[in-house]
Structure 1
């Protein structure tokens, strides 16, 4: 049988634990008869399942009548790409021609003898949206892993105008906390601060236990032991299952060693490299002071770092939004990612 787990980021695994609450919330808002929200942002640490959730929502809406879905590449010219992809939809191209919407100036479609080419990209988008609204369509645009690029800024600003014009366009984006923060801090894009955001937390351990128990025919205790190693981190759930499937007779100790090697290579090295030196110093101190349960008093962390309360609050909030620390217990911090403290101790506290 094929391995039911995958290590490919962004690919929908054969074995998946749905984030039903988040999915329902977004789908219900987008399909509501009276539109209140036309944009959602999904954020979370690398490997938290952002792309999988975006894909699930896009597939669900694509199956509904009068819904169009278009996926855009965040590194391309987004507005031209949107027009081009809409023109390529079999249901839309004839409507554009019938409505005399000539997009040939942008290299899209053919020149219409009965109409002058539209030469302004925002005017073209507005005309197309008017047509879709008249025909009763709603359009979902998905953009995975957004960054604060010129094209992204132009597209988001144009989207804001279309929303004010009551266009039937909806935007679903994913991104790392720092990239979303950079984008919404642009003076012309502060409306993104008000956009609903879904911060992906860990998966339910009981759900993970159930999957492991069913697939590997384990008893409840063995399956929960595996589930606890993942700490609910979606990529860890996939990785641990993948390794166990590949080597069914592997010992627990060997499995944990292989897990450490792979998760460091796939996630933690890149994640650590992208952190600021100050973020790194806070996490090193957290790993150094962590007790058996992995929790550290914030007051002890401040003392270790010689950091003021106000400055500590800033870093606690940043690291929490990046999905790296859990601050749910008042006055304490702990790591959210499985064995991330082990990685830090091994590479940054062993000498």
Structure 2
């Protein structure tokens, strides 16, 4: 029996739940015309909360309404790729001139039999390439005549080179001022997005709609598990569904992991399609084992040594930690520890949990740290030789 779940980053789940309001805001922006604030939208959140999935959905919603979509990733060279490949490809499909020459291919010969593909095309004549703004202007002029628009999406903004983003954002700002039919949606990790917005040249993005993607409500989690299971021919008991739901902690990527490993455990061990609490417990356990290498390890790699020390010190507690206690374990004063507390909150790795208390945001992070770090660390090990001056971490 086919497993309905796809626990891969950036792959749309069989049922997207808990994001209706954010998607409705984007649709309203597309349909409201130039000037709608949602025509520039940023999605932030931890790894695995569905940022790329939201971009996928935004692109689908735009295409359904006749918009042209150009999708990019925020790695160095983004403007060169847009100017040299992405935008010219769209222009060729639409037969829009973006380089001073015709973009339509010409038929030069036909050889029989025609149905076997005996057709020769001559590519459009080479021309001096227009810059980013000129190409976007040409495309949006054409699309405006057809009552549609251009959506540009950029994933992994935390990896973007600053110079490329400055040029792209400056161009988008001109397009918005000229009320062109254009929209932008980007996604990235919280602290890096904040750092990007603090750039004096990128102030335009501060006016973008920002959606911080967090945990999904338990009722939505249950729907995200039960509906695909039933559609694939599985049955799940109420007790098993409750166990699987609680096992995800509302974390979107873990929903897919739990669903996938519950199905796989069942098909490997029992000749049945009924998921009971035994199968659900095995699925949750298998999913959590894999969460560490897929989510926790990459998240910790982005941090400074002191950031990781702070998080490891928290793992010694059974629940929410006091900042004063963490400072004591690190051998620093509370003001110094508070600066790292703010950094980790901005990175969405910890969250306030009552007066003077903090807790992890990623499910199972405490257990992961205990297994990989805290089990061999005592309070003396947590004391740095000399406090460093906090500076923004890269890549969070």
- Same fold judged by TM-score > 0.5? yes
Distance in 1 between residues matched to 2:151 and 2:171, nearest whole Å: 15
CA distance change for structure 1 residues 151 and 48 in 2, over 3 Å: closer, same or farther?
A: same
CA distance change for structure 1 residues 125 and 16 in 2, over 3 Å: closer, same or farther?
A: closer
1:272 CA displacement? 1.4
Work out whether residues 248 and 258 of structure 2, in 8 Å CA contact, stay in contact via their aligned partners in 1: yes
Q: TM-score, normalised by structure 1?
A: 0.84
Task: State the match for 1:200 in structure 2.
Answer: 213
CA distance change for structure 1 residues 321 and 227 in 2, over 3 Å: closer, same or farther?
A: farther
Distance in 2 between residues matched to 1:100 and 1:234, nearest whole Å: 44
Q: CA RMSD in A?
A: 2.8
Work out whether residues 34 and 180 of structure 2, in 8 Å CA contact, stay in contact via their aligned partners in 1: no
Aligned match of 1:122 in 129, 133, 145?
133
Task: State the match for 1:273 in structure 2.
Answer: 301
1:132 CA displacement? 2.9
Aligned match of 2:147 in 136, 144, 149?
136
SS at match of 2:307: helix
Unaligned runs of 5+ in 2: 104-122, 270-277, 377-396
CA distance change for structure 1 residues 30 and 313 in 2, over 3 Å: closer, same or farther?
A: farther
Distance in 1 between residues matched to 2:55 and 2:295, nearest whole Å: 20
Distance in 1 between residues matched to 2:308 and 2:246, nearest whole Å: 25
SS at match of 2:215: coil
1:154 CA displacement? 2.1
Q: Which moved more, 1:173-182 or 1:46-55?
A: 173-182
Task: State the match for 1:85 in structure 2.
Answer: 89
CA distance change for structure 1 residues 33 and 213 in 2, over 3 Å: closer, same or farther?
A: closer
Give 1:155-234 correspondences, 5 Å limit: 155-213=168-226, 215=229, 217-234=235-252
Q: Which moved more, 1:306-315 or 1:11-20?
A: 306-315
SS at match of 2:225: helix
Does residue 295 of the first structure (1) align with residue 320 of the second (2)?
A: yes
CA distance change for structure 1 residues 27 and 266 in 2, over 3 Å: closer, same or farther?
A: same
Work out whether residues 231 and 336 of structure 1, in 8 Å CA contact, stay in contact via their aligned partners in 2: no
Task: State the match for 1:110 in structure 2.
Answer: 124
Distance in 1 between residues matched to 2:240 and 2:25, nearest whole Å: 34
1:308 CA displacement? 5.1
Distance in 2 between residues matched to 1:315 and 1:53, nearest whole Å: 30
CA distance change for structure 1 residues 84 and 72 in 2, over 3 Å: closer, same or farther?
A: farther
SS at match of 2:60: helix
Work out whether residues 50 and 253 of structure 2, in 8 Å CA contact, stay in contact via their aligned partners in 1: yes
Whichever of the two has the greater Rg, that structure is: 2
Does residue 62 of the first structure (1) align with residue 90 of the second (2)?
A: no
Q: Deviations over 1:1-36 (max 9, x none)?
A: 321111211111224325101111122123214523
Count of aligned positions: 335
Q: TM-score, normalised by structure 2?
A: 0.75
Q: Deviations over 1:276-335 (max 9, x none)?
A: 11221221122112x3xx322334334434555555454334323433223264432212
Distance in 2 between residues matched to 1:185 and 1:103, nearest whole Å: 42
Distance in 1 between residues matched to 2:21 and 2:355, nearest whole Å: 26
Q: Which moved more, 1:218-227 or 1:170-179?
A: 218-227
1:254 CA displacement? 4.4
Once superposed, which parts of structure 1, at least 4 consecutive aligned residues long, lie more than 6 Å away? none
Task: State the match for 2:381 in structure 1.
Answer: none
